[in-house]
Structure 1
């Protein structure tokens, strides 16, 4: 386990990173607005599971191995962009009359999977874990791999609580806007727009030098 000073700094850094608007925040909020608080929580849980998986990759050295393959960044970037565009298209092609049913019947497992896959297909997310976690490891306090796993699990837990609360706030905001057909259509278009914007963000990512 990292020493107390590093752990304290890690928690502060994690909270500061989470409150800065980013793709995960947009992903959770858009799902919560479109499908309700359970969908927001499912998206948040998917993101946290992806965090754990990327932590395991970093701890085992797999992350560095993957990113050492020159085309890996481009493959992940374009696969993620195509996946997000597909989600946006699926939302837009749903008939307007079915939007109310979609809001109630959206598969939470599917949304959970979206959150996980979307994070794993973001090459900068993996690079972030490779750079961020080791800064708070203390060589003198034990196994580096175990410390990395502990920090990654702690980050995943903090992120889950933060994103779950964010989803609840988004649902409360959506409720104030009303639940008519117009608001549902706007919610669908807004959801598709967010997915397309996240895809565009991946397309225009610059490979780290």
Structure 2
């Protein structure tokens, strides 16, 4: 259904996009560095789930319908920015509750997984990415366009999961290099990442 040449080109383009720094990469790295590989893997799985959801929305045509209504873009990005600021606040509160000189308590993997998925879904750039990127590799002449989108989307989600999982594990290794009193520093850095991502999201324009 999908030609080999298209799959090769799609794989190369997907790899280039994954290597480009972005909110998902920052989310995984900050959690892996602050709380270890388990947290990094949970964040990677959340992103993978969000990718699958966006694939389904794109195949159903819902993503294009949402993007066609301009206020939807602003609504999603402002809700996303508020959510990230809330995460930054929660991270700082958790850090404040830890013992002096100790490390903040690790968050449950399920909570990180859900937060990661929500964070990715509330990024309007992800919606536009799936709406614009995936259709470029669809071959209408071969038929079954929605199925082609699902196949390509699942391949991208799998590649994204593997990439972010490796990133989460590698970033966790930096945590082991920190001294015993650096746990709070990592959590504060994580809160700063959330705040900066919120600012970036709030300042986005649909044309960028």
Question: By the TM > 0.5 criterion, same fold?
Answer: yes
Deviations along 1:62-84, one digit per CA (max 9) or x if unpaired, are 01111122210111000000000
1:102 partner SS: coil
Counterpart residue number, 1:102: 105
C-alpha RMSD of matched pairs (Å): 1.4
CA shift for structure 1 position 140: 2.5
Once residues 125 and 109 of structure 2 are traced to their aligned partners in structure 1, the CA distance between those partners, rounded to angstroms, is 26
Counterpart residue number, 1:6: 6
CA shift for structure 1 position 101: 5.6
Gaps of 5+ in 2: none
Once residues 71 and 141 of structure 1 are traced to their aligned partners in structure 2, the CA distance between those partners, rounded to angstroms, is 35
TM-score (norm 1): 0.94
Q: Where in structure 2 are the equivalents of 1:15-164 lying within 5 Å?
A: 15-94=15-94, 95-97=97-99, 100=103, 102-103=105-106, 106-164=107-165
Determine if contact 2:63/2:127 at 8 Å carries over to the other structure: yes
**Number of residue pairs matched by the alignment:** 205
CA shift for structure 1 position 154: 0.4
Counterpart residue number, 1:190: 189
Deviations along 1:186-207, one digit per CA (max 9) or x if unpaired, are 1011000011111011011012
Once residues 151 and 126 of structure 2 are traced to their aligned partners in structure 1, the CA distance between those partners, rounded to angstroms, is 18
Gaps of 5+ in 1: none
CA shift for structure 1 position 107: 1.2
Determine if contact 1:3/1:141 at 8 Å carries over to the other structure: no
Once residues 101 and 13 of structure 1 are traced to their aligned partners in structure 2, the CA distance between those partners, rounded to angstroms, is 39
Once residues 193 and 27 of structure 1 are traced to their aligned partners in structure 2, the CA distance between those partners, rounded to angstroms, is 11
